[in-house]
Structure 1
Amino acid sequence: MKVVLINPPHTAIGSRIPDDHLPPLGLLCIGGPLIDAGFAVALIDADLSDMPLNRIVEEAANREPDVVMLGHSGSSSAHATVVALCGALKQRLSDLIIVYGGVHPTYHWDEILRDSPCIDIIVRGEGEQTVVDLMRTLKAQGDLHAVRGIAFRDPQDSAKVVETPAAYMIRNLDEHRIGWELIDHSSYSYWGGKRAVVLQFSRGCPYLCNYCGQRGYWTQWRHRDPVKLAREIGRLHREHGVELINFADELPTGSRRMWRTFLEALIAENVPVLLVGSTRAGDIVRDADILHLYRQAGVIRFLLGIEAYSEATLTQIRKGASVHEDRQAIQLMRQHGIISMATYVVGFEEERDVDLWRSLRHLLRYDPDQIQLLYLTPHRWTPFYKTAEHRQVIQTDTRRWDYKHQVLATRHMPPWRLFLWFKSIELILQLRPKALYRLLGHPDAVFRQSMRWYSEMGRRTWLREVFEFMFKTVRVREGQSLKTFLGPTLEAREYALEKAKPANSARRIIPLTESR
């Protein structure tokens, strides 16, 4: 059987502005196991060139697939595009089986199957083993009820949907290989034209941030074998010229011992690669005595989720961090030549002008090298969602629910004034004298180049966001509540995978109209 993997185009500003583009790791992660299981697999990365839907359909039809599998890292904001694409695919290829996976469909599986007849099967949670089991069952025309981690319409009653037991969590992350052969490495770059890939050292996070849409999807923190991963990076550099690794982990540094082992193994590989990713300020402070190994291994930037200036807000959202620790982490990173990027989220509270003024002063005291402001974007499967159900939705185009567009109203401030604060804070942080010195006069050439690349990308994105806000973004004045617009909380589904094999497991069949 022939399988075509499709990475749909994404409308997010960040996907369209930079010249650089990263490969779709999630699809490559399922592509490798499918190839090893004997299936013919091809990849169409429609996001690489912002491919129009009719061309995607044509490209897929030319490959004569039996099954198309879709997924996107910008899961929720790409969903509307996925549905439109699936409808076009089914219109052209009526016998095609369409499988949809990722974070958003993992939690919204029943609604998707109810509302989108063009989608046949949902993969819930990690897909590496599930898609192999699914394809073997489809090839043998077997019983889909025996495949864990999927949802589909009941063959006996299309008004009902079958939810099979959750897939087992993959404990050995080295068990399934990434299908690198599906891409041309020369097509993918980051950090100003450096050949780049996305990797995961770990999956999951042990912290309880109540707004995070990823933590429950992975269920539990696990890591790859650090020496094997270092060898893989070394091979990617020597065989494919890869110069930069973008870690997709929530918390690659979760285990000090394993992270140090990885750093030392990568140093031993002696390959000139740069590493960028995200971590927690607490882990940077914890590792103060080994930060020289971070830099020696190639770590050039870590993103730190600062989120808010108020200790009360940090407690409310269960961040598990402190203002003092955040500031200390930025200082430690600077001492070791590692760029700090601070993300700051607007919208946890319904801000007033004084709150945003305090946010600006707070960020200036932190003095991060780079700044990224984001709008709060709630996910129904997170505990935070229930606390925001009453708030008014002003952005009804879910393709713009990408953290860079305001989606929830603030009672004390119209959108134009919040946007003015938003863009002014970014501008002030990036143009302050200290930031300009690091951009233009920092003694480390690698540090300097990295700052210049981000500054150029940020300038273009900033101008595009201002233009879009003024001339293209449509907002409603009197919107529905979040609960009315999206539906009730799905917090009960937050943990997507089974940690251990249960004594008894059975499928569930529910009417498509049933709400739970």
Structure 2
Amino acid sequence: MPRASSSSTTLARGSVAMNADVLLVNLPPYESYYADGVPHLGMLYVLTSLKAHGYTASYLDCAHRITRRDEVLRAIEESQPRMVGFSIDTDNLLSAGRMSRAIKEELSPEIKIIFGGPASQGQAEEIMQNSAADVLVIGEGEYTAREVADCLLRGQGTLAQIPGICYRTEEGLVFTEARAPIDELDDILIPDHDFLPEGVRYAVNLISGRGCPFKCTFCFEGRMGNVYRHRSPENILTEIEYLVERYGRPFIAINDDTFTSDVAHTLEVCRLIKERFTPWEDLLLFCEVRADVVNKHPELVDALISAGVARVQIGVESADVSVLKAYKRLNVKPDVVESVISRFHAAGLPSLYCGFILGGPSETLASMQKTLDFAKRMVLEVAPGMFECNVSFLTPLPGTEIRSSPELYGVRLLDPDLVTSSNFNYCVAETQDLSREQINNFRRRFSMELDDAIIELIPKLPRHVLAAHARLSSDFDVATAYFNKFGRFPRMMEYFNLVGGAKGLPAASEFADDELLERFPTRLSHPISLEQDCVVIDSTPKHLKLNRIGSQIYGFCSGKLTGHEIAKQIASSQDSGGPGFDRIRADVVGFLRHLDGNYAVFHKDY
């Protein structure tokens, strides 16, 4: 087996036990950007179940795009596991298959290999044919995985007795009877984060429920059963308490798509969070909402925000009714979405993230333009400073209606096996009216015009709106589309790296006049210009040209003098007939506030 030439590694494997009974390996995706630094909750659930059942279990996190094959094999070999497991989705199906064969051929054919994951329900035969897996778990894995381990590692029972799997025999593949979805989710143990390696900063996430009652033609979320099952509010709060205790002030992503489907359940979760925490101080939350549900139950808006929800996602898909009809999304029409976006904006939500799809059924250049115009109006008129979005290509995944019958939707699959892409960022389908080139190029224009709209908007936004985006980044490591554009205004970026948030300095607005004068105003490091001996400050949202007195005050903002001492310096340079000290002092206070408000100075306390 080939070895790396260096001892350095990209693997986060600090928790991998030697001689583990079961090692679950989180492989890197081909293209997907969302896996790096995100714990694989499905694997943590299974690992926690195996541990409680008496197995030594470990987690090997390889979900980094620069991970090397030989590093993964060496880590597996050093662990000496009896069984290795992988979670399979459309994006890593081929690489997991190759890795399973390498384990059998280069390490030991005696190592048992178990597959599971979201692709199991739509691509079972393909997965088994392209891998060396001994067993494929189809559906939820917490109970099935330990039954498979009991059979293969402890010799208890036979694989044929285990519902919800596919396994190999000399005669071919055998599918056992289907396993029903787990009804009582509270019976499943909360994921144990001790399986995650130390010293790695992970996103914090949880799942409040499983299943989906909706039947969108482009989506595979219903694979786990159409009946939505949620954990009890108390059970969810138990996990939130665990995450807050473990991670401090976390930003917790509630990752299931249907968190707001049961309104009473959602409101009770929000009530319990407010009862047990101080939201916005102890924690922040992300969740996805259904626009039609929130439109019918507007009380959800204030409930979510008061519980610490700082970022919301809405699946909009399209602003064209004919496209929405083909998606079976007519309950989420543009007027409904706009109403909900407007409500969240009025309530002060910092970030609302919408997803759009291009190249769908019945799509034309006119329908794509309608969607772009809708998104731009949300940014510039309806929810400036809050609305942001992502636009992706229609990617008909196995198990979806459009993938099963593309001709019924006027879609031509250019790459049915998704070899060229499966993460929605590479065009793999055309419509009756649009070529791949047209769809691809329109998406590029869509993204560029939305970026330009946000850059155009930033100078017009109130300071507290920009500060909220900066705080999400500094305190909770959440980079919104607005914060990502701060780099266009480097002086403002430098300012927010120093001021605000849990660790930053206070802004001038937080001090009374006398208090501000006792602090030490300090210029930022970005270069200025001089025009006729007057200071010109750019690289901020607003271009500032200071007058003579203003330039003099700015010159004293070296961090060496207090505001009061600066006022004395200005007074000493005035002619005998100049303004009195009280007037100069007031002018200095006003000007320091003006400079701070325009990201030109910050105020130290020594």
CA shift at 1:333, angstroms? 1.1
**CA–CA distance in 1 between the matches of 2:198 and 2:81?**
24
> What do the CA deviations read for 1:388-431 (whole angstroms, capped 9, x no partner)?
15614158762621111111134655544433321221222233
> What do the CA deviations read for 1:180-218 (whole angstroms, capped 9, x no partner)?
2101465234xxxxxx32211111221121221111324
Could you tell me which of 425, 450, 454 is aligned with 2:480?
A: 454
> Larger relative contact order (C-alpha < 8 A, sep ≥ 6)?
1
Which piece of structure 1 moves more, 435-444 or 174-183?
Answer: 435-444
**CA–CA distance in 2 between the matches of 1:315 and 1:430?**
29
> What do the CA deviations read for 1:40-99 (whole angstroms, capped 9, x no partner)?
001001004742121111101111111111015xx1011111112112211222211111
Residue 221 of structure 2 aligns with an amino acid whose one-letter code is Q
CA shift at 1:448, angstroms? 4.7
> What do the CA deviations read for 1:461-508 (whole angstroms, capped 9, x no partner)?
xxxxxxxxxxxxxxxxxxxxxxxxxxxxxxxxxxxxxxxxxxxxxxxx
Change in CA separation of 1:457 and 1:292 when aligned onto 2, cut-off 3 Å: closer
Q: Which residue of 2 aligns with 1:356?
A: 368
Q: Which residue of 2 aligns with 1:237?
A: 244
Written as runs of structure 1 = structure 2, the 5 A alignment for 1:313-462 is 313-319=323-329, 320-338=331-349, 339-349=351-361, 351-367=363-379, 369-388=387-406, 391-393=412-414, 398=419, 400-410=421-431, 412-432=433-453, 435-436=457-458, 441-443=463-465, 445-450=467-472, 453-455=479-481
Residue 305 of structure 1 aligns with an amino acid whose one-letter code is G
CA shift at 1:169, angstroms? 1.2
**CA RMSD between the two structures:** 2.6
> What do the CA deviations read for 1:91-138 (whole angstroms, capped 9, x no partner)?
22221111111111232112322343x111100001111111111122
Q: Which residue of 1 aligns with 2:174?
A: 162
Change in CA separation of 1:98 and 1:123 when aligned onto 2, cut-off 3 Å: same
Change in CA separation of 1:246 and 1:298 when aligned onto 2, cut-off 3 Å: same
Q: Which residue of 2 aligns with 1:51?
A: 67
Q: Which residue of 1 aligns with 2:297?
A: 287
> Is the Cα–Cα contact under 8 Å of residues 257 and 289 in structure 2 kept in the other structure?
yes
Which piece of structure 1 moves more, 7-16 or 207-216?
Answer: 7-16
> What do the CA deviations read for 1:272-330 (whole angstroms, capped 9, x no partner)?
21111322111222332242221121101111111111222212221232221111111
Could you tell me which of 139, 143, 151 is aligned with 2:153?
A: 139
- Structure 2 segments unaligned to the other structure (5+ residues): 1-19, 487-606
Q: TM-score, normalised by structure 1?
A: 0.80
Q: Which residue of 2 aligns with 1:273?
A: 283
Alignment of 1:220 onto 2:227: yes
**CA–CA distance in 2 between the matches of 1:143 and 1:395?**
36
Written as runs of structure 1 = structure 2, the 5 A alignment for 1:89-128 is 89-91=103-105, 92-116=107-131, 118-128=132-142
Q: TM-score, normalised by structure 2?
A: 0.69
**CA–CA distance in 2 between the matches of 1:121 and 1:399?**
27
**CA–CA distance in 1 between the matches of 2:173 and 2:125?**
7
**CA–CA distance in 2 between the matches of 1:456 and 1:79?**
35
**CA–CA distance in 2 between the matches of 1:168 and 1:398?**
32
Which piece of structure 1 moves more, 439-448 or 23-32?
Answer: 439-448
Change in CA separation of 1:399 and 1:96 when aligned onto 2, cut-off 3 Å: farther
**CA–CA distance in 2 between the matches of 1:6 and 1:438?**
48
> Is the Cα–Cα contact under 8 Å of residues 233 and 269 in structure 2 kept in the other structure?
yes
Could you tell me which of 297, 308, 317 is aligned with 2:307?
A: 297
Which piece of structure 1 moves more, 59-68 or 266-275?
Answer: 266-275
Alignment of 1:40 onto 2:56: yes
> Is the Cα–Cα contact under 8 Å of residues 231 and 266 in structure 1 kept in the other structure?
no
> Aligned residues: percent identity?
20
> Is the Cα–Cα contact under 8 Å of residues 274 and 306 in structure 2 kept in the other structure?
yes
Residue 224 of structure 2 aligns with an amino acid whose one-letter code is Y
- Which secondary structure state, in structure 1, belongs to the residue aligned with residue 425 of structure 2? coil
> Is the Cα–Cα contact under 8 Å of residues 420 and 426 in structure 2 kept in the other structure?
no
- Which secondary structure state, in structure 1, belongs to the residue aligned with residue 187 of structure 2? coil
Alignment of 1:62 onto 2:78: yes
**CA–CA distance in 2 between the matches of 1:90 and 1:113?**
14
Which piece of structure 1 moves more, 209-218 or 161-170?
Answer: 209-218
> Is the Cα–Cα contact under 8 Å of residues 285 and 328 in structure 1 kept in the other structure?
yes
**CA–CA distance in 2 between the matches of 1:176 and 1:97?**
25
- Which secondary structure state, in structure 2, belongs to the residue aligned with residue 151 of structure 1? strand
Which piece of structure 1 moves more, 300-309 or 424-433?
Answer: 424-433
- Which secondary structure state, in structure 2, belongs to the residue aligned with residue 205 of structure 1? coil
Which piece of structure 1 moves more, 256-265 or 40-49?
Answer: 40-49
> Is the Cα–Cα contact under 8 Å of residues 29 and 65 in structure 2 kept in the other structure?
no
Alignment of 1:81 onto 2:95: yes
> Is the Cα–Cα contact under 8 Å of residues 391 and 447 in structure 2 kept in the other structure?
yes
Q: Which has the larger radius of gyration?
A: 2
CA shift at 1:237, angstroms? 1.2
Residue 198 of structure 1 aligns with an amino acid whose one-letter code is N
**CA–CA distance in 2 between the matches of 1:280 and 1:457?**
25
> What do the CA deviations read for 1:139-188 (whole angstroms, capped 9, x no partner)?
3323100111110112xxx2421111111211111212212210146523
**CA–CA distance in 2 between the matches of 1:267 and 1:445?**
24
Change in CA separation of 1:77 and 1:228 when aligned onto 2, cut-off 3 Å: same
**CA–CA distance in 2 between the matches of 1:392 and 1:216?**
21
